[in-house]
Amino acid sequence: MLAHSHWRTWLLLLALVFASIASAVVHKVKKGETLSQIAGNYGVTVESIKRANGIKDANKIRLGQRLEIPGGEQAFFEYTIKPGDSLSEIAAQNGLSSRQLARFNGIRNVNKIRAGQVIRIPTGDKAKSHPALPASIKASLDKTRIKSGKWRYIVIHHSGTLRDSAKGMDRYHREERRMENGLAYHFVIGNGKGMGDGEIFVGDRWKKQIQGGHLSSLKLNQISIGICLVGNFEKTRPTSKQMERLEALVAYLADKAPISFRHITTHTTINTNPTVCPGRYFPTSQFKKKFEG
């Protein structure tokens, strides 16, 4: 009877082992991948991968290394690249950015894909996506030709005023600050006071790809896209509509320029002179987390 009990115990242990193996996915590390990116793709934590593979330093993984992904169930389907396809178009059709799709497939240059290449497209809610831009704004932005590598940062500002508009800012910058190109920012997002709540104004600096005038450094203005939200966030918080449209716009610009998500920043962080812009009530850390992983 005791022997029979031991057999039952061993069978149970074996069943647990096989169940564990079955629930794990094995991932082969591709060029340029980080443990954080891999974890994000499978919807698991970095720590769980480290534990499963005996990894002490998350920064020390190697090309071709096979990693067990415990509980990883990232669903995907395969797609064969056709002549004329672009990664950005394929990504947009599947609710992703080209960066996300490139990262999932270990593609280093989003502009270098070839006909016949097979890529994996993640599906389900583990594929992080961002709010969509209004169709009219996206259509307008799609017309602008961008020189690759021209833009390196996206900088978020507030107007410092409770009520304002892109037209009013343009007049002030042109007439009071004597800026030849007028409005210092590339984009302005309204708060319902002077402009519609969440309304995106696309300035000439973006349409004509002119350097910004929103930072004190001439060098940084040449490589930084300026987005200003109407409001004084030392006193109030941005509206939910403003934040939704800001996320959609930043995701679009970061994908199209392209710009590293690490270079999405605020006026106070990047400016060479002290400033509180965009104010204490702008949710900087929460906003940046939307672009992590």
Q: Does 125 have pLDDT greater than 70?
A: no
- Mean pLDDT, residues 191-200: 97
| Band of pLDDT at residue 2, cut at 50, 70 and 90 | very low
Confidence tier at 19 by pLDDT (50, 70, 90): very low
Which uninterrupted H or E stretch holds 187? strand 187-189
Average pLDDT over residues 260-288: 93
Torsion of CA 216, 220, 224, 227, to 10 degrees: -10
Is the sign of the CA dihedral 109, 112, 115, 116 positive or negative? negative
Domain assignment present for 129: no
Mark whether 59 and 86 lie in a shared domain.
no
pLDDT of residue 128: 53
Percent of the chain at pLDDT exceeding 90 = 45
Q: How far apart are CA 96 and CA 73, in angstroms?
A: 18
- The partner residues of 66 in beta bridges, in order of sequence, read 28
- How many C-beta atoms surround the C-beta of residue 264 within 10 A? 22
Report the pLDDT averaged over residues 172-189.
Answer: 96
Residue 15's CATH number: 3.10.350.10
| The pLDDT value given to residue 9 | 47
* Residue 229 sits in the same domain as residue 261: yes
For the chain, what percent of residues have pLDDT higher than 70?
Answer: 85
Cα separation of 23 and 73, whole Å?
Answer: 8
Q: What is the CATH number of the domain that holds 276?
A: 3.40.80.10
> What integer pLDDT is reported at residue 124 of this predicted model?
53
d(CA 271, CA 35): 32
| pLDDT over 60 at 1, yes or no | no
Tokens 């790809």 belong to residue:
209
- Judgement on whether residues 156 and 225 belong to the same structural domain of the protein: yes
Q: Are residues 143 and 226 in the same domain?
A: yes
Residues 139 and 275 in one domain: yes
User: Is 107 found in the same domain as 142?
Assistant: no
Please compute, for residue 80, the number of CA atoms within 13 A of its CA located in the half-sphere on the CB side: 1
Please give the tally of structural domains in the chain.
Answer: 3
Lowest mean pLDDT among 4-13, 118-127, 163-172, 265-274: 4-13
Whether 130 is covered by a domain: the verdict is no
Position 190, amino acid: G
Same domain flag for 103 and 227: no
Question: What does the pLDDT read at residue 12?
Answer: 44
For 171, the domain range is 135-289
Residue 127 lies in a domain: no
Q: How high does pLDDT run on average in the chain? A: 84
Same-domain status, 168 and 220: yes
Checking if the pLDDT of 7 tops 70, the result is no
Within a domain: 128: no
Residue 121 has pLDDT above 90, yes or no: no
What does the pLDDT read at residue 183?
A: 98
Residues 44-88: pLDDT tens digits?
778 888 888 889 888 888 888 888 877 655 567 788 888 888 888
Does 263 map to a domain? yes
Put residue 26 in one of left, alpha, beta given phi > 0 → left and psi -120 to 50 → alpha: beta
E-assigned strands of 5-162? Answer: 24-28, 66-70, 76-80, 118-122, 153-158
Tell me: pLDDT of 293 over 70: no
Residue 187 domain-assigned (yes or no): yes
Answer yes or no: do 160 and 272 share one domain: yes
**Residue 24's pLDDT band (boundaries 50, 70, 90)?**
low
Residues 118, 153 within the same domain: no
pLDDT of residue 160: 97
Query: Which of the residue ranges 32-41, 92-101, 146-155 has the most confident prediction, judged by mean pLDDT?
Result: 146-155
Q: Tell whether the model's pLDDT for residue 13 goes beyond 70.
A: no
pLDDT at 123: 64
Single out the residue in 60, 88, 122 at which a domain terminates: 122
Let me know whether 44 and 171 are in one domain: no
Asked whether residue 202 carries a pLDDT value surpassing 90, the answer given is yes
Whether 155 and 254 map to the same domain: the answer is yes
